[in-house]
Structure 1
Amino acid sequence: MEADMAVMNSKKMDMTQGSLWDKILIFAIPLAASSILQQLFNSVDTAVVGRFASSQALAAVGSNSSLISLMINLFIGISLGSNVVIAHYIGQKSEDNIHAAVHTAILVAIISGFFVMILGQFIARPVLLLMGTPEDVIELAVLYLRIYLIGMPFIMLYDFGSSILRSMGDSKRPLYSLIAAGIINTALNLVLVIVFGLGVAGVAIATVISNVVSSGIVIYVLTHEAAPIKLDLRKLSISGGELKKILSIGLPAGIQGMMFSIANVCIQSTINSFGSSAIAGSAASLNFEFLRIFL
């Protein structure tokens, strides 16, 4: 037990002791890098199909970018609720509440992820049609979105699992898991598109697999942490009190994160009205803009 506590203490950062400036930078830089990498997953898909598939494939992936960004921002915001609640309990040294909040957060991630995955299979086409996706692109766009949504449980697990780790000051291991997933995503994109010629389906499958990897690493880390942050998959349950606290913080944060993305969805709908060539051109230019800003 003492060895476990020593390992946990070596990974966590005590934000209540000493100077805050260095701790804020050490904590925030990996956090910002993780957000950038998660947003760039779709950009990698766009780049690969744009270079090695067709303009219709590029338009199909590009027409989903704003919609995917909206979902990611919503879930990152909601997962922030678990981060705040668990960090508060860690500061209070309330082990029972930490245990309840950790297992509530993970089970909520699993349930909500499967709910969005299943619901998305039915509403993918209506939503893309509502956005005015052109006829020569709609089938590929629906295919990409439906495959992408299969990975929603794993995206949710990564977001909530990472929030739990960050609640104890560990923002590095979530970044490392995302870097590993990003490398796998890029490699699989190239293999599935160039070697197997899967096009849109290939980049979507690669994204799902990379999400499985990132969430798997985070869950592995949590199941091997020391108590009280340790995750025991056999003890998953929802505490009504903890769920209420998580959602009271997370939902407003998620909705706030969605606002800019909603505007982008409206802009994308307008671009869609100009046809698939315009969508492909917009997707390529946005990819360049992302790289220019981040690099």
Structure 2
Amino acid sequence: MKQEQNLTEGPVLKTLLAFTVPFIIANVIQALYGAVDLFVIGRYCPPESVAAVSTGTQVTQIITSMITGLTLGSTILVGKYTGMNAKEEVKKTIGTTLSVFALAALALTAAMLLFVTPILELLKTPEQSFALARQYVVICSCGIFFICGYNAISAILRGYGDSRRPMMFIALSCALNVAGDVILVKYAGLGVAGVALATIGSQAISMICAIVYLNRSRFIFTFTLSNLRIDSQKVRELAAVGIPISLQECMVRLSFLYLTSVTNRLGVYAAAAVGIASKYDVFAMLPATSTANALAAVTAQNYGAGKPERARASLFAGLGFAVAASSLFWLWAQSSPETMIGMFTRDGAIINEGIPFFRSCSYDYLAVSFVFCLNGYLNGRSKTIFTMISCCFGALALRMPLIWLVYTYWPDNLLRIGSIAPAVSGFMAVYTLIYVVVSIRRERVERTEDAALAE
């Protein structure tokens, strides 16, 4: 299998978009998992089931965020070594990534099964939804191995310059998930358990198909047990890059889990409304998240090839694209939030609760476009310590305290609660941009000094 795209050559905008668009399509399809689950549950089950899936997906998303954060470390390293044309280092990185993630999947599965009840209690899950939410999380936890496998393979391919095949694999998985949801919920009557079983079953089939396909396509790495070896140096490199990214993703998810715990105290209707909003967050922020992850791979390859100026040009192109795309969802939320909520439920009480929240939280669609793209560029340069500190600060020192403050003094005001995320993201965008500008200037000075010494 040939490398899909050389990210270090050609027109900057065209190269970035050609790599990013399949990324976006894949992420849209992946986001459909939770959205389809909630859509089917909302159509065929009572409100407590909607609240259960909303809360349950918040829990499972933190695991997914942890996994995708770690796999992005693999994308960056594979991209760097691909840019350097170091094929043996690429193979070592792939073998180590797959081996480490297989072990991590087993540990995460055990941890989730042990702590699912305390986690749901911390989230103040409504009593009438608690048993259903626990059922959903337990079943989904049994599929963590497949989540790890798929995300690891996709991250490796993207670092290698291939964003199309991950899109194909996730499209297969989503089609199977949609069919499974309808069959197991509408016809088999399994409710919450049905959507969870459909999710893990579709992910398992997708991962297996990906491995079989790549082994038959002469990929740079052959997926066999003999090639699954852990290289200690690559483990250290993956940890140095991936753990900070994973931690920042987890901190962001934790802050939104805290938001879920707060809104759960406001009752089933508020919990369901915020749960629906979280599904739109995923879709509305997809241009930003996809561009950010693409920028990490593009930046890593270009820095590996000694082309930092091209990486910076890609950053500005990506920022413009992400902001323009995310603004479409912002306009929809401002003009007709009731139609957004109505896509998932016909319950008038849920719609009324959600309208003010949608109008305020949708400003975050624009703010995060700057934060995510800037962080993607920095991650590609392996400056993951800064992005980790930044995201942890935003989540723990800003977002969570502000949620507590607003809930304490205005407990029934979803408009003010929804305004917290965009305010925090806007502040983060400002200081991240300052850091990027300073780091670029410092880099140019160092290059000038090195050139002078060489003469």
Q: Is the 8 A contact 1:96 1:228 kept in 2?
A: no
For residues 147-158 of structure 1, what are the structure 2 equivalents within 5 Å?
Answer: 147-158=139-150
Counting aligned pairs with the same residue, the percent is 27
CA shift digits 1:178-220 (9 cap, x unpaired): 1111111111101000111000000000000111122223222
Q: In the alignment, does 2:3 pair up with 1:30?
A: no
Aligned-residue RMSD, C-alpha = 2.0
Q: Pick from 145, 165, 182 the counterpart of residue 173 of structure 1.
A: 165
Q: In the alignment, does 2:188 pair up with 1:196?
A: yes
Match of 1:262 in 2: 254
What is the CA-CA distance between 1:66 and the residue it aligns to?
A: 2.3
CA shift digits 1:102-130 (9 cap, x unpaired): 11111112111121112111111110011
Q: Pick from 128, 133, 141 the counterpart of residue 125 of structure 2.
A: 133
Change (3 A) 1:199 1:233: same
Larger RCO (CA under 8 A, 6+ residues apart): 1
Q: Pick from 224, 235, 241 the counterpart of residue 249 of structure 1.
A: 241
* TM-score, normalised by the number of residues in structure 1: 0.90
Q: In the alignment, does 2:208 pair up with 1:216?
A: yes
Q: Which amino acid aligns with 1:74?
A: M
Change (3 A) 1:292 1:24: closer
Q: In the alignment, does 2:84 pair up with 1:84?
A: no
Change (3 A) 1:124 1:221: same
Match of 2:227 in 1: 235
Change (3 A) 1:164 1:221: farther
Q: Is the 8 A contact 1:178 1:214 kept in 2?
A: yes
Larger radius of gyration: 2
Q: Is the 8 A contact 2:31 2:282 kept in 1?
A: no
Match of 2:408 in 1: none
Match of 1:162 in 2: 154
Match of 1:121 in 2: 113
What CA distance in whole angstroms lies between the structure 2 residues aligned with 1:182 and 1:211?
8
- Structure 2 SS opposite 1:208: helix
What is the CA-CA distance between 1:233 and the residue it aligns to?
A: 2.9
Q: Which stretches in structure 1 are left out of the alignment for 5+ residues? A: 1-7
What CA distance in whole angstroms lies between the structure 2 residues aligned with 1:282 and 1:160?
30
Match of 2:99 in 1: 107
What CA distance in whole angstroms lies between the structure 1 residues aligned with 2:247 and 2:185?
35
What CA distance in whole angstroms lies between the structure 1 residues aligned with 2:120 and 2:104?
22
Q: Is the 8 A contact 1:102 1:231 kept in 2?
A: no
Match of 1:43 in 2: 35
CA shift digits 1:81-109 (9 cap, x unpaired): 11111222223332322221111111112
What CA distance in whole angstroms lies between the structure 2 residues aligned with 1:20 and 1:37?
26
Q: Which amino acid aligns with 1:66?
A: Q
Change (3 A) 1:245 1:222: farther
Match of 1:61 in 2: 53
Q: Which amino acid aligns with 1:71?
A: I
Q: Which stretches in structure 2 are left out of the alignment for 5+ residues? A: 287-328, 330-455
What is the CA-CA distance between 1:263 and the residue it aligns to?
A: 2.0
Q: Is the 8 A contact 2:146 2:203 kept in 1?
A: yes
- Structure 2 SS opposite 1:271: helix
Aligned residues: 287
What CA distance in whole angstroms lies between the structure 1 residues aligned with 2:160 and 2:280?
36
* TM-score, normalised by the number of residues in structure 2: 0.59
